[in-house]
Amino acid sequence: MKKLIVTFAFLGFILFSHAQKVIEWPEFKGTTAPFIKILKIELHDTATVMDLRVHFAPNNWIRVPEETWIQDSKGGEKLYVKHAKGIKINEKHFTPENGLNEYTLYFPPVDDDVKTIDYMVSDWKIFGIELVPGEQFSFFPEELLGSWLRTDGSNEWMYGFFDELVIYDSEIWKQVLISQKEDIYQLMLQKKGKKKKLVVKQKGDKLLIGPDEANLELFSKEQTSKSDFVIPNDEEFQLPVFNQDTAYYKGYINGYDPRMGETGMVYADNVLASAQESYLITINDDGTFSASIPMIYPQLLYVRFMRTNESIYFEPGKTTFRFFDLSRHHDDPEPGNLFMGATEKVNRDLLAMKDIRYFDYNYMREKILDMSPEQYKEYNLEIKRKEQDALKEYIQNNPVCKKAQQIKDMQITYRNAQNILSYNMNRTSAYRRKNNVPRDQREIPLENEELDSGFFDFIAAEEINNPLAVTTGGDYDIFINRLKFSDPVRREGIIAVGDQDITAADFEKMGITLDSQNKELLNRLATCETKDDLAGFMIKDSAEYMEFRTKYDEIYREIRLEKLNNIREQKRREGFREYFGFDSGFAWDIIKAQDVSQRMKSSFKPLAEYQIENLRSDFENPFIVDYLLDQSAELENEIARKEEAFSNKSGFVVNETPDAKDGDLFDTIMKKYEGNLVFVDFWATWCGPCRSGMERIKPLKEELKNRNIRFVYITNPSSPKKTWEILMPDIDGEHYYLTQDEWNKMAARFKVSGIPHYVLVGKDGSVLKDKVYFASSNAELKKMFEEYLD
């Protein structure tokens, strides 16, 4: 009750006292939340009062948590919010239909000598809010400052003049000499031996800019609309689409503060490897940033940067320049985020059309359990028609470049196809959500719907095989994935390669010549046509055959896997032909390339000679052949490096499996680690998710290296011994290689139905969790570890 009285007294004083100072629309240095506007700040002896307006999507909620504070920009005490009007602290507040939230926050008073403050709440931060108007230093007269766009109707951003730099020609120029003669400014720009001259002349609220007085062009801060504008040099994508080179992402963040974050990430889809490759964006203290991105074709890349997630178009060998203005104020007329350079027009057009995307995943999940396959298909096709109509209308009313048109049109096609192909998967997901089925429960009482060939007539073979589709980035990659695992293609039935299917010729392909005795042994085995024949062979020749199998066990497994893959490939090809109308062409090359690439990664083996010989006859596209050969050569070099490092690298321990005749093997292994928390990873060298999980957890292991926690890795003979040894130097921890019987017993104890499978063991050797869910982030895992470490 006392706290409540104090709060009311505090508020009462504020409401009836006069503000010492009122700052309307205060200036600030930068913000991570441009949708927040500070309308007014009142400085009282007893409080700091801040009026805010937040633009947000209607019916979506915002919240002011208790951990909202203001602080002197130079540091010092955090002044936490005490009260709010128009919103309740720590409660969800739903945005009205007009998209505007207006409320007032009350903080403790700031000291009289504080000139700027920061407003801090979660990811919504505003830096350098001016309580005392500061003198803004600038190389340039105020009339030159800002971003300047062409007025010919293209609205292309060509120049940026800011306090201490110039942006021009996709470069940041900090060495600037400026002189004035009457109403004309001359700018000399220098950078690493390069020089540029600019002449600038004011014309009303616009500028005339050019390399000299005879070649001045009119520029404006605001966009110019011209109905007769024609995009110059407007070209569609041309074949061949593959082009191996490096793309560059660089730019400038106006109003940057290092507390906003010092890095970002670019994620590039590689459709040939069915992989997403990540590249770091580094931000310098002055707000400049850069990244280098190796690419093999132009495409949309997913960029996570400055708390925004978006798709940006890049081309190999070209620079995409980006400008972020985080210092924009309520009355700034110019655009806040701009592109410059070779990809400027494509990115600007795609950004303008990003809202032409009408598929609502949540709505679909609510309705799909009541939809038949045909109803679901028609529901998606209707969305596709609406998006295509909206695209057509937008293009009719706006000058959109041909590349942007192609990408957007293909995005609509392949996203729609993804959704239709995901019918049974989405249906299962909706059922799990509706019935709260936990993710570790594999079996559910819902059978997949049978889909006939007519269900799959929504996309033509020419669209599936369109090489230009890779420019959509992840959209085509995901479509290919859905195609590979679509219901009709996965109906393989039981595929088996029997012992009698392995021949001496198979060994010859692997570079191994068998002696006449072993050839004769395999010939006798090949004549077995019935189970009785095979049983008779095993009775008569089992000792000789087991000796042969033991000698060539790893080679035998490779041959068996190769034959299984060939059978699967043939069945998949038949499915594509029957249901989708193609069994060759670009998509087929992509799917085969993914298989080859993933087999190299999972087995950690480069291509064998016989596989290299088959490549050029197996693929229609020569670039894909060269790419796979390069991948094989890189893998060979990596293996050589790892083999050299195997004897030198510390951090991993290879353990002999202990004798556990008198007890459980797992418990016997765990005795070695008593007093430590133990994270056990059941894995295999060929398991992609296993190895990606290991990679993901590396930073957390490094963070916890001085704590009482051990990481134990257990595998079985399905991991080739040589591959296992090659991989270990990059997997710090304790390693065990079990026999098949040892693995079977351990797998039965922990109900290991698939890998990776994780078990957490306590300091006393007891099992704390026998099925740990490994989230995509390390945060959840660390929280669980901390609970038991403490």
The bridge status of strand 146-150 relative to strand 217-220 is antiparallel
Inside any domain, residue 594: yes
Q: What is the CATH number of the domain that holds 330?
A: 2.60.40.1120
Check whether residue 635 and residue 656 sit in a common domain: no
Alpha-carbon distance values, 114 to 21, 77, 645 (Å): 13, 12, 57
Q: How many domains does the chain have?
A: 6
The answer as to whether 240 is a domain residue is no
The CATH number that applies at residue 71 is 2.60.40
Q: What is the radius of gyration, based on Cα positions, of the chain?
A: 32
Is 624 in the same domain as 507? Answer: yes
- Residue 108 preceded by cis peptide, ω within 30: no
Domain boundary among 587, 610, 643: 643
Judge if 678 and 732 occupy the same domain: yes
Looking at the fold, whether 452 and 485 belong to one and the same domain comes out as yes
Could you tell me if 485 and 504 lie in one domain? no
Q: What pLDDT is attached to residue 644?
A: 76
Quick one: 372 and 444 in the same domain? yes
Say what the pTM is: 0.83
Please give the single-letter amino acid code of residue 228.
Answer: D
> Residues 506, 639: one domain?
yes
- pLDDT at residue 2 in the model: 41
Determine the structural domain holding residue 51 and report its residue range: 2-130
175, two tokens: 């060495």
Domain end point (choices 611, 643, 675): 643
* End-to-end CA gap in the chain: 36
641-699 residue pLDDT tens: 877 776 666 667 888 888 876 568 999 999 999 999 999 999 998 888 888 888 888 88
Q: What is the pLDDT of residue 135?
A: 61
Q: Which of 270, 301, 247 is nearest to 590 (CA)?
A: 270
CATH of the domain at 758: 3.40.30.10
The verdict on residue 617 lying in a domain is: yes
SS3 letters for 220-235? ECCCCCCCCCCCCCCC
What is d(CA 584, CA 364) in angstroms, rounded to the nearest whole number?
Answer: 34
Q: Are residues 600 and 690 in the same domain?
A: no
Q: In 10 A of CB 129, how many CB atoms? A: 21
CA distance 417 to 475: 10
Before 488, cis peptide (omega within 30)?
A: no
Catalogue the E-assigned strands of 15-123: 21-24, 30-31, 36-43, 48-55, 61-62, 69-72, 79-80, 83-85, 93-94, 100-107, 116-121
Alpha-carbon distances of 284 from 171, 191, 260, 288, rounded to whole Å: 15, 17, 12, 5
Q: Which residue has the tokens 């020609």?
A: 169
- Does any domain span residue 690? yes
pLDDT of residue 328: 64
* pLDDT at residue number 136: 62
Measured CA to CA, the distance from residue 686 to residue 732 in angstroms comes to: 18
Q: How far is residue 759 CA from its own chain's centroid?
A: 28
Residue 775 counted as domain residue? yes
- Candidates 218, 221, 222, 197; CA nearest to 209 is 218
Domain harbouring 181, CATH code: 2.40.128
User: Can you give the pLDDT at residue 1?
Assistant: 40
- What is the model's pLDDT at position 780? 81
Tell me, yes or no, whether 638 and 684 share the same domain: no
Claim to verify: residue 274 and residue 392 sit in the same structural domain = no
Same domain, yes or no: 704 and 757: yes
Bridge partners of 149?
157, 220
Res 528: pLDDT:
87
SS3 560: helix
Instruction: Give the side-chain half-sphere CA count within 13 A for 558.
Output: 23
Q: What are the angstrom distances between the C-alpha of 485 and each of 69, 445, 480, 491, 586? A: 50, 22, 9, 9, 18
> SS3 string of 522-558?
HHHHHCCCCHHHHHHHHHHHHHHHHHHHHHCHHHHHH
The reply to whether 520 falls in a domain is: no
Supply φ then ψ for residue 223, to 5 degrees.
-70, 150
Q: What pLDDT was estimated at residue 99?
A: 93
User: Which residues are within 8 A (CB) of 284 and not within 5 positions of it... i.e. 6 or more apart?
Assistant: none
pLDDT for residue 5? 43
Tokens 């800002």 appear where? 146
Domain shared by 657 and 743, yes or no: yes
544 assigned to some structural domain: no
Among 352, 387, 405, residue at a domain's last position: 352
Query: Looking at residue 269, what is its pLDDT?
Result: 93
DSSP 356-393: -----HHHHHHHGGG--HHHHHHHHHHHHHHHHHHHHH
Which parts of the chain sit beneath pLDDT 50? Answer: 1-9, 13, 16, 330, 333-335
Report if residue 79 sits inside a domain.
Answer: yes
